[in-house]
Structure 1
Amino acid sequence: MNLTEAWRDFLAGWAGGSLGILCGHPLDTVKVRQQALLVSPLQCLRITLRHEGARGLFKGLAFPMASAGAVNAVFFGVYYNCLRWLGDGAASASAPLLHVWAAGSVGGVVQLAVAVPVEVVKIQLQTRTGAGGAWARHYQTPAGGPLGCLAELYRRRGPAGCYRGLHVQLLRDVPASGAYFVLYEALSRWARERRLPPAPSVLLAGGAAGLLSWTLILPLDVLKSRIQADCPDRPQFRGVLHCAQITVLRDGPAALLRGFTAMSVRGFVVNAATFFGYEYAMVGIRWLL
C-alpha cells in the first residue's frame, strides 16, 4: 500500500470532519440539551436564545472543532486503509459491501480512543446552561472551557472520568459506522450508474447515509447524552441498562426517541458536509501531493 495514499485519507478525513462539525454544531447543541435535559426542541431553542443568546448554540464548539479533525482523520483513515487491505489495494468503488461494512466497523472502534473524551467534554459544556431555574435542575461543570473541563474530569475520576460513556458509545458507534459506509457506498454507486452530477451525488449520499445510520441508533444516543452529562462524582446512572430503566420509568418510552428532529436535520447536514469535505479535500490533496 502506498504510504502517501494512506496519509491522504487521514488528511482528507481531518478536513471533512472539521467542515461537518462547523455546519452541524448548533443543531447538535439542541439535540444534546433536548436529550439530557428532557425538553422540547422549541423550548430548548427559546430558553437558550433568551438566556445565552446565539452563542449558547455554539457551546462546546472549540474542542470538537480542534479535535474533529483528529477523530475523523482516524475514522476515515482507518476505514479506507482497512478497505484497501481487505481488497488487496482495490478502490472502495469496487469493494464488496461486506468489506465496506467490516472496514467501517473497525474504523468505528478505533476512533473511540479520541472520540469518547471529545464527546464527554462537548456534552458537559453544552449542558452548562447557566440559566438558573429556566431549566430542570441538573449537574453543570464548573469548568469554563474544554481544557478546564477535561482537567476537571481527570481530577475527579482519573482516566475513567474522561472515558465516561465508553460502553454505550461503543454500542452506538460500531454498528452505526458499518451501516454508515455501506449506505454511502451503495448510494454513491447508484448515483454513478445513473451518471448524476458528482457534487450533488456526494451531498445526497453523505446526507442520507448520516440520516439513516443515526436513526438506527437514536435510543443509544439518548442514553449516551444522559450518561455523559451526568455528575462525575455522584452519578445518578450506574450504567447503560440502569440509565435506560430510569429514563423509561421517569419519562416514558418516548424519551428514548428525544432529539429525533434535531438529529435528523443535523445528521443530514453534517454528513453531507463531511463527505463533501472529504471527497474534495482528497482531490485537492492529490493535486498538491
Structure 2
Amino acid sequence: MHGSSQEALSPAASRTGIGTNNCSHLEHHQRGITASAPQASAATRELFAGFAAGAANVTSGYPFDTVKVRLQSAPPGAYRGALDCAVKVVRYEGLRRGLFRGLSSPLVGGTLETGVNYLVYSRVLAMLASSAPSAVAGGGAGGAAGPGVTPLSHVAVAGAVAGVALSFILGPTELVKCRMQVARSSARYPGGPFQVLQEAVAAEGWVRGLTRGLGATLAREVPGNAVFFTAYEAARQALRQTSDLQGATTRRADLQGALAAILCGGAAGTLMWALVLPIDVAKTRLQTASPGSPWDVGLMQQWAMLWREGGLRSLYAGLTPTLVRAFPANACQWLAWEAIMRGLG
C-alpha cells in the first residue's frame, strides 16, 4: 500500500538504475526546490514513480490480500487458517476468479493511491526541509542521525499528511475491492466494480455509500503511513552507516541499492501492517456489512464485537496472509520507486 529515501547518484550509477550513495533523503527534495528544472518536473517524476510502485505492490500481493479479506469477513470456523482458505477458494472458484477476483479496482486505485501518497509525502518533506534547514544542517534534531540526514520527525509528519490524502482514494476503492473479494461467485457482481458502486449508492446515497468505512481508513492510514515511511527511512539511514561503497563497482553499488530497498521496504511494510491490522479488520467488516446489519456500526463498536467473538484471534484475523503479503509487496513497491526515480534522473 504504501516516498522514498531518494539518494544522489554518481554519474556511473545514474546510468544503470539502482546505485547507492550516502547522500541523504532530504538532499533530493532540496534539489527539487533549488535545481534549474521546474518544480513540476520533480513532482511529475514522483507521481509517475509512485504509479509504477503501486502497480508492483498490488499485483504481487493481491492473492494474499484476497485470503486476508476472506478470513476477516468469514463467520467463525469457516476456515481452519490461511492455507485452508486459499485451497478452498482455488478449488471451488478457480485461481483467476477466486484469488484474483476484483483486481481491476485495487489495481487502478492502488496505482493512483500510491502515486498520490509518494507525491504528497515528497512535497511535504520538501516543504519541511525548506522551512527548517537548520534541523538538517546541524544533525541530531528530530531523530536525525547526523549532518545532512533527514530528520525522522519530518518523515513521520510527511507520512501522516500523505495518509490523510490517500485515505480519500482508498475509501471507495477498498469498498469495491472488499465486496468483490467476499463474493462467493462472479455471478454476484456480473457488472464488476461499477455494479458494486451502483448498489452502494442506491442503498445509502452518494455520500454514505461511497464513504462507508472512511473513518476507519483514516484511522489506519494516518498513523500507519507515518510508521511506514519512518521505518523505511530509519532502516536506510542505519544501512548507510554500515555500508562502504568507496571504490565499489557500479554493479556492486546497484545490487546493494536494490537489496537495501527490498529489505527496508519489506520490513517497513511488515511492521506497519502488524500494528494497524486490528483497524483493518474492523474496516473490512464495516465495508462489507449490509446497511442496518449488526456489523453496521462504528470502529469502537466493531472492536468490542470482535473481542467478544474471539478476542485477539478475531482482532488479528488474517494476520498470516497479511504478513506473508506485506514483505514481498512492499519490497517490490520500494524497489520500483527507487529504480524509476533514479532512471528518470
Question: Is TM > 0.5 for Structure 1 vs Structure 2?
Answer: yes
The CA deviation at 1:244 is 1.5
Aligned counterpart, 2:19:
none
- Give the C-alpha shift of residue 8 in structure 1: 1.1
Given the two structures, how large is their TM-score scaled by the length of structure 1?
0.90
Given that residues 143 and 149 in structure 1 are in contact (C-alpha distance below 8 angstroms), is that contact kept between their aligned partners in structure 2? no
Unmatched tracts of structure 1, length 5 or more: 132-139
Q: What does residue range 162-201 of structure 1 map to in structure 2 within 5 Å?
A: 162-195=210-243, 197-201=256-260
- 1:207 is displaced (CA, Å) by 0.2
**2:283 matches 1:224:** yes
In structure 1, give the amino acid aligned to 2:89.
Answer: T
Does 89-98 or 65-74 show the bigger shift? 89-98
> Aligned partners of 1:235 and 1:43: how far apart in 2?
27
Whole-Å Cα distance in 1 between the matches of residues 177 and 322 of structure 2? 16
Rounded to whole Å, the distance in 1 between the matches of 2:105 and 2:123 is 27
Aligned counterpart, 1:12: 49
Which of the numbers 93, 110, 115 marks the counterpart of 1:52? 93
User: For residues 274 and 129 of structure 1, what CA distance do their matches in structure 2 show?
Assistant: 30
Structure 2: gaps of 5 or more residues: 1-32, 34-38, 137-143, 245-255
Q: State the 1:81 CA deviation.
A: 0.6
Are 1:43 and 2:84 matched, yes or no?
A: yes
Q: 2:161 maps to what in 1?
A: 106
Q: Select the residue among 105, 121, 124 that pairs with 1:63.
A: 105
State the distance in 2 between where 1:105 and 1:141 align. 37
| Alignment match, 1:145 | 192
From 126, 139, 149, give the equivalent of 1:94: 149
Local SS of the residue matching 1:94: coil
Deviation at 1:42, TM superposition (A): 2.2
AA aligned to 2:91 is R
- Aligned-pair CA distance for 1:154: 1.6
Paired position in structure 2 for 1:273: 332
The answer as to 2:159 corresponding to 1:117 is no
CA distance in 2, matches of 1:236, 1:97: 38
Aligned residue for 1:135?
Answer: none
SS in 1 for 2:176: helix
Distance, in Å, in 2 between the alignment partners of 1:253 and 1:101 is 28
1:134 aligned residue: none
TM normalised by structure 2 equals 0.76
Deviations 1:130-159 (A, max 9, x none): 39xxxxxxxx96454112211221222122
d(CA) in 2 for partners of 1:69 and 1:270?
Answer: 13
Kindly report which structure 2 residues correspond to 1:240-251, keeping only aligned pairs within 5 A, or say none. 240-251=299-310
2:304 counterpart SS class: helix
Query: In structure 1, what is the equivalent of residue 68 of structure 2?
Result: 31
Query: Are 1:16 and 1:273, in contact at CA under 8 Å, matched by a contact in 2?
Result: yes
Identity of aligned residues (%): 35
1:252 shift after superposition: 3.3
After TM superposition, give the deviation of residue 187 of structure 1 in Å.
Answer: 0.7
CA contact (8 A) 2:285 2:295 kept: no
Cα distance in structure 1, aligned partners of 2:334 and 2:52: 10
Q: Give the match's secondary structure for 1:217.
A: helix
Q: Number of matched residues?
A: 278
Structure 1 residue aligned with 2:184: 129
SS at match of 2:130: coil
Q: Which moved more, 1:66-75 or 1:250-259?
A: 250-259
The answer for the alignment partner of 1:83 in structure 2 is 125
Note the C-alpha offset of 1:284.
2.2
